[in-house]
Chains A and B, each alone.
Chain A
Amino acid sequence: MREAASDAKSGGLTLSGLTKHFGSFTAVDNVDLDIQRGEFLTLLGPSGSGKTTLLMMIAGFLDITAGDILLDGRSIRDVPAERRNFGMVFQGYALFPHMTVRDNIGYALDVRKRPRAEIAARVDEMLDLVQLTEFGHRKPGQLSGGQQQRVALARALAFAPPVLLLDEPLGALDKKLRIEVQDQLKDIHQRVGTTFVYVTHDQEEALSMSDRIVIMQQGRIEQLGTPNELYEHPRTRFAAGFLGKSNFLTMPDGTYALRPEKIDIAPGGQMNGTARLTGTIRGITYFGAVQKLMVAVEGRDDIEVDVDSWRNPHALREGQPVDLGWSDTAAVRLEDT
């Protein structure tokens, strides 16, 4: 099928003024977004932020209240889901339980009435891509969660879609497996060159895999940028607090976000006059590589300071008075104060 052929020339998505109402509730509110072809873009937000609704509108499962979706410049607003040719990895995978892994992966080509030999060859290729060659004749119920996740990925990529939509695909996996699959997913993205639109509420997933991240809140785009941009220059309190941790400091000219790991800490009086704040250590939590220190500062909220454990030269203890300092670029002034 012609439109199924994925090449670098296809897969650019434009959302313009996209809006979705459910009754009086606005799930997605006037979203404008350009998704580059071949990009790994993550929609990140808490539950109820509209990220899944946005994905379902792109997939064609939800009607659009207002606005438009363009694929390579052409509107696909009125194209039904089955003709959009977008691959999708569902939450919980949604594999066909009565079919073998091979039949699951070959399904998209089978319903397009492609020749058997071609389907078999493509299924072999996909099984190889997700490293499940020996499992082709099993049923989904006989696979582990991680393996099912890979079958879902292979099934969605088998017809070479220009765009792959992923709805919290790692949500059901345990933490260790999740990190492993993140690497595989990133690797597969680079190999197939398809545009990935990835929905998650997990900030670590978003940071480690994405080319760009869209932080969403209450149906709107809170901030858009590369992981580095968003982490280093959050524009709003929400963005600073949702992606990574932040201390919020109220200064005469506004509120500043300050990452816990960018704060220097020393026993009281030892900073030679560069201390910006002084306080007392109220608690220490040990995490192996890092220690989180909660510092009580007169007249302010407690400030969290992350210190590399191996670097803690002063053997700081609870109750000890400390000086806090940071460089001028460490504190980022927020726009929404």
Chain B
Amino acid sequence: MRVLGRHISPGWLLVAPLLLVVLAFYAGPLANILWLSVTDPEPGIGNYQKLYQTDALGRILWTTFRICLITTFFSVALGYSVAYAMVHAHARNQHVMLTFLLVSFWISVLVRTFAWLMLLGRNGLVNESMEAIGLISEPVRFMRNELGVLIGMVHYMVPYAVLPLLANMQTLDTRVMAASRNLGATGTQTFWRIYLPLTAPGLIAASLLVFILSLGFYVTPAILGGGKVLMVAEYISVQLLVTLNWGTAAMLGTLMLFSVLALLWLMSRFMQLSAAFGGGATR
């Protein structure tokens, strides 16, 4: 074993088939995109120069960033209270809540987006009800604007925010919170000074997860934004399918890939990523 181990660990043999598949169908195309971004339509960094040469691109990137940031904030805030309620509920209620969470987690983004389309339209349930009880006289424009996109995205992202937070909150020792109260801290003081700092790893993990997933959002902005809210993913699709500007599309894809990697690298400097994503249950 020692001789064999010096050359090649037998573990590699076990993962070799998977490794080949990943190389062939993931790393390969990825490298192709990187290559396209500097070769199409002509070799050079022309595609990247467009970033500051065209206003439209900058606007799209800024819209994407802003929407992702707002989505992250609301998803994590809502997810935090849901996770908190789940951790402190009785075991049976906790199962019910988890089931609801996972059901919405498993339903396709397309279905959920169209559901919002029905609810938020001019003659949708929300507008009709609010008009009926006299809350508004004119239908509120929920769709074909950023508000609609945000509602759809936050709704989709809440379960993603809940899961890392839940994993984090479940590892907390409730006696620590009891100790804080015993030492004379009110509930509010205990929350800000003990509970929140101890759930910071979960908050960071949830924010990171939601932000990264939001960056690539395509269906929800396309449908609920109605072409008025253009985010990077939709723009890439237009470049690929309509204007056949593969070079620009590849450049934007590369940009997103490296943004996400940079985010992860930044986080890894502050904390163990495995701990943030639930691998740290064994403290």
Chain A residues with a Cβ under 8 A of chain B: 59-61, 80-83, 85-88, 90-92, 94-98, 107-108, 111-112, 155-156, 159
B54 interface contact, C-beta 8 A: no
B183 interface contact, C-beta 8 A: yes
B194 interface contact, C-beta 8 A: yes
B69 interface contact, C-beta 8 A: no
Q: Which of B176, B182, B185 has the most CB of A within 10 A?
A: B182
In the assembled complex, the Cα of A155 lies from the Cα of B182 at a distance in Å of 11
In the assembled complex, the CB of A201 is this many whole angstroms from the nearest CB of chain B, namely 18
B165-193 contacts to A, CB under 8 A, are: 173, 175-176, 178-186, 189, 193
Instruction: Please give 8 more A-B residue pairs, beta carbons under 8 A apart, in addition to A59-B182, A61-B178, A88-B182.
Output: A81-B181, A82-B182, A87-B182, A94-B179, A95-B179, A107-B185, A107-B193, A156-B183
In the assembled complex, the Cα of A81 lies from the Cα of B189 at a distance in Å of 14
**A91/B184 contact (C-beta < 8 A), A96-B194, A98-B198 known:** no
Judging by beta carbons under 8 Å apart, are B182 and A159 in contact?
no
Subset of 30 A-B contacts with CB under 8 Å: A59-B182, A61-B178, A81-B178, A82-B183, A83-B184, A85-B184, A90-B179, A91-B175, A92-B173, A94-B173, A94-B178, A95-B176, A95-B179, A96-B180, A96-B194, A97-B176, A97-B198, A107-B180, A108-B183, A108-B184, A111-B180, A111-B183, A111-B185, A111-B186, A111-B189, A111-B193, A112-B184, A155-B179, A156-B183, A159-B184
Chain A residues near B182: list those with CB within 8 A: 59-61, 81-82, 86-88, 156
**A90/B183 contact (C-beta < 8 A), A97-B198, A111-B189 known:** no
In the assembled complex, the CB of B67 is this many whole angstroms from the nearest CB of chain A, namely 33
Chain B residues near A159: list those with CB within 8 A: 183-184
In the assembled complex, the CB of A54 is this many whole angstroms from the nearest CB of chain B, namely 16
Judging by beta carbons under 8 Å apart, are A94 and B184 in contact?
no
B197 interface contact, C-beta 8 A: yes
In the assembled complex, the CB of B46 is this many whole angstroms from the nearest CB of chain A, namely 50
Judging by beta carbons under 8 Å apart, are A82 and B178 in contact?
no
Number of A-B contacts (CB under 8 A): 63
**A90/B184 contact (C-beta < 8 A), A96-B194, A97-B198, A98-B197 known:** no
In the assembled complex, the Cα of A165 lies from the Cα of B189 at a distance in Å of 22
Chain A residues near B180: list those with CB within 8 A: 96, 107, 111
Judging by beta carbons under 8 Å apart, are A82 and B185 in contact?
yes
In the assembled complex, the Cα of A111 lies from the Cα of B197 at a distance in Å of 16
Chain B residues near A96: list those with CB within 8 A: 176, 179-180, 194
Chain B residues near A156: list those with CB within 8 A: 182-183
Judging by beta carbons under 8 Å apart, are B175 and A94 in contact?
yes
Q: Which of A82, A83, A85, A156 has the most CB of B within 10 A?
A: A82
Q: Which of B176, B183, B189 has the most CB of A within 10 A?
A: B183
When C-beta atoms are compared, the residue in chain B nearest to A84 turns out to be: B182
Judging by beta carbons under 8 Å apart, are B179 and A82 in contact?
no
Q: Residue-by-residue, is B20-63 near A (CB-CB < 8 Å gives 1, otherwise 0)?
A: 00000000000000000000000000000000000000000000
In the assembled complex, the CB of B186 is this many whole angstroms from the nearest CB of chain A, namely 6
Chain A residues near B198: list those with CB within 8 A: 97-98
In the assembled complex, the Cα of A111 lies from the Cα of B176 at a distance in Å of 15
In the assembled complex, the Cα of A221 lies from the Cα of B163 at a distance in Å of 46
When C-beta atoms are compared, the residue in chain A nearest to B179 turns out to be: A94
**A155/B173 contact (C-beta < 8 A), A90-B178, A94-B178 known:** no
Q: Residue-by-residue, is B193-211 near A (CB-CB < 8 Å gives 1, otherwise 0)?
A: 1100110000000000000
Judging by beta carbons under 8 Å apart, are A88 and B186 in contact?
no
When C-beta atoms are compared, the residue in chain A nearest to B174 turns out to be: A94
In the assembled complex, the Cα of A292 lies from the Cα of B217 at a distance in Å of 76
Chain B residues near A61: list those with CB within 8 A: 178, 181-182
Chain B residues near A91: list those with CB within 8 A: 175
**A155/B183 contact (C-beta < 8 A), A98-B197, A98-B198 known:** yes
When C-beta atoms are compared, the residue in chain B nearest to A112 turns out to be: B184
Q: Residue-by-residue, is B249-280 near A (CB-CB < 8 Å gives 1, otherwise 0)?
A: 00000000000000000000000000000000
In the assembled complex, the Cα of A90 lies from the Cα of B194 at a distance in Å of 16
In the assembled complex, the Cα of A225 lies from the Cα of B148 at a distance in Å of 72
Chain B residues near A88: list those with CB within 8 A: 179, 182
In the assembled complex, the CB of A97 is this many whole angstroms from the nearest CB of chain B, namely 7
In the assembled complex, the CB of B203 is this many whole angstroms from the nearest CB of chain A, namely 13
Chain A residues near B178: list those with CB within 8 A: 61, 81, 90, 94
Chain B residues near A87: list those with CB within 8 A: 182-183
In the assembled complex, the Cα of A97 lies from the Cα of B198 at a distance in Å of 8
Q: Which of B173, B184, B185, B198 has the most CB of A within 10 A?
A: B184
Q: Residue-by-residue, is B211-241 near A (CB-CB < 8 Å gives 1, otherwise 0)?
A: 0000000000000000000000000000000
Chain A residues near B186: list those with CB within 8 A: 82, 111
Chain B residues near A86: list those with CB within 8 A: 182
When C-beta atoms are compared, the residue in chain A nearest to B185 turns out to be: A111
In the assembled complex, the Cα of A59 lies from the Cα of B178 at a distance in Å of 10
In the assembled complex, the CB of B101 is this many whole angstroms from the nearest CB of chain A, namely 28
Report which of B175, B189, B193, B197 forms a contact with A90, defined as CB distance below 8 A. Answer: B175
In the assembled complex, the CB of B142 is this many whole angstroms from the nearest CB of chain A, namely 42
Chain A residues near B193: list those with CB within 8 A: 107, 111
In the assembled complex, the CB of A3 is this many whole angstroms from the nearest CB of chain B, namely 10
In the assembled complex, the CB of B197 is this many whole angstroms from the nearest CB of chain A, namely 5
In the assembled complex, the Cα of A83 lies from the Cα of B184 at a distance in Å of 6
In the assembled complex, the CB of B180 is this many whole angstroms from the nearest CB of chain A, namely 7
Chain B residues near A81: list those with CB within 8 A: 178, 181-182
In the assembled complex, the Cα of A92 lies from the Cα of B194 at a distance in Å of 17
In the assembled complex, the CB of A74 is this many whole angstroms from the nearest CB of chain B, namely 18
In the assembled complex, the Cα of A92 lies from the Cα of B179 at a distance in Å of 11
